[in-house]
Amino acid sequence: MPPLAQRNLMHDKVRLTVTLTGIVFAVVLIVVELGLFVGFTVTTSGIIDQSKVDLWIVSKGTPYIEQGSAFSERKLYQVLATPGVAHADKYIVRFSNWKTPQGAEDGIQIVGFNPYTGVGGPWNVVEGKVEDLKTPDAVMVDEIYKKKLGVTKVGETFEINRRRARVVGFTRGIRAFTTTPYVFTSFKNAQAYTGIAEDQTYFILVRALPGTDRAALQHELESRLRDVDVLTTRKFSSMTRIYWMFTTGAGVAVLIAALLGLVVGVVVVAQTIYATTMDHIREYGTLKAMGAPNSYIYRVIITQAGMSAVAGYVLAMFVSVFIVHASQSGGAAILLPWQMAVGIFFLTLLMCVSAAVVSINKVTSLDPAMVFRG
């Protein structure tokens, strides 16, 4: 087929620019909203996902990580005595209060872990070392929250729950969905900072011996321990994500915004493709008069829509990658995993081809006798 679709598309540069702008706008909007959704989702369960353990033991009925309740640390020894367990650590995640020397206060989430094993500890450490957290009153925060917490450098001291806290290092990119920054410290310090009894813990993180049947181990632990749930890391992560993204409605709002981006894209692209079709309506009438079946003309219109989609997508990805990169230093990470990029490509194609349906309807009803009307 001669390149009618390509030529029609390229013929009117202004209209092409409007079409591509519409697509780019829609795609970037979708990337940002879906990227935020993915970013938020990953953030809500970041602590769990990065723990790299097999099982989490939580108090009975705990719906998500921030909602844990304290239970006796004696269960740790029962866990350690269970066949197939390679390692187990007490763990705390609990809200507390941060106070600057100037008296400013802010909410934080204390993450107390075993600094000797590092399990459940900070990752992406850019200043200081995890081992530095072995010392009393040592804490580590993320550089994103430096301003929020009033921290400028390592060595500064603050108050957590009226106890001294000394910053010994910084991480990069460990965000908290609730906007209350994570503050990593040793389990012992965390007990003091959160005010829980010395014989209590909030979670127990379990690593299985290599080759152990994890489902069997989970079942065994469930039968040995009372008043707790034994959850796989994946399950607990999923529960936490579902709670924050859907039970609270936060994720739904983001998804609706993404859907709106899609609708805006379809409308803008439909309008411009329709206008392009109307510009060439006499040519389509001529094609029909010459004997072209409707499918031939649909192919021209759909090819135009497809080409617009590809060009718009490529341009949008340049903009999106820039935005995604820029967001990494902000409070809310926009993530663009490759699976999402591929998905959005097909979504863009679908959006543009759907937008062409209005034009196709117009051409279907076109009377070829129009070519004889002056």
Q: Name the residue nearer to other proteins (CB basis): 259 or 278.
A: 278
CB 37 within 8 A of CB 258: yes
Return residues touching other proteins (CB under 8 A). 1-4, 7-8, 10-11, 282-283, 286-293, 296, 368-369, 371-372, 374
Contacts by 146-152, CB closer than 8 A, 24 or more apart = 146/170, 148/106, 148/181, 149/98, 149/100, 149/106, 149/108, 149/181, 150/100, 150/102, 150/104
In whole angstroms, how close is the CB of 16 to other proteins at the nearest point?
12
SS3 category, 138: strand
Q: Name the residue nearer to other proteins (CB basis): 284 or 313.
A: 284
Q: Name the residue nearer to other proteins (CB basis): 255 or 371.
A: 371
In whole angstroms, how close is the CB of 296 to other proteins at the nearest point?
7
Which residue's structure tokens are 């936490």? Answer: 240
Q: What is the largest CA-CA distance in the chain?
A: 93
In whole angstroms, how close is the CB of 257 to other proteins at the nearest point?
38
* Residue 152 per-residue DSSP state: -
Q: Name the residue nearer to other proteins (CB basis): 3 or 330.
A: 3
Q: How far apart are CA 311 and CA 17, in angstroms?
A: 11
Q: Name the residue nearer to other proteins (CB basis): 102 or 295.
A: 295
Neighbour-count burial of 14, counting CB atoms closer than 10 A to its CB (0-12 exposed, 13-18 middle, 19+ buried): exposed
Give CA torsion, residues 112, 117, 119, 120, to 10 deg.
20
Q: Name the residue nearer to other proteins (CB basis): 13 or 147.
A: 13
Q: How far apart are CA 155 and CA 322, in angstroms?
A: 34
In whole angstroms, how close is the CB of 292 to other proteins at the nearest point?
5
Of the candidates 248, 92, 244, 97, the residue with the CA atom closest to the CA atom of residue 177: 244
In whole angstroms, how close is the CB of 367 to other proteins at the nearest point?
8
Q: Name the residue nearer to other proteins (CB basis): 84 or 368.
A: 368
Q: Cα separations (Å) of 321 from 114, 165, 293, 313, 348?
A: 37, 38, 42, 12, 16
In whole angstroms, how close is the CB of 280 to other proteins at the nearest point?
8
In whole angstroms, how close is the CB of 276 to other proteins at the nearest point?
11
- Tokens standing for residue 90: 């007490």
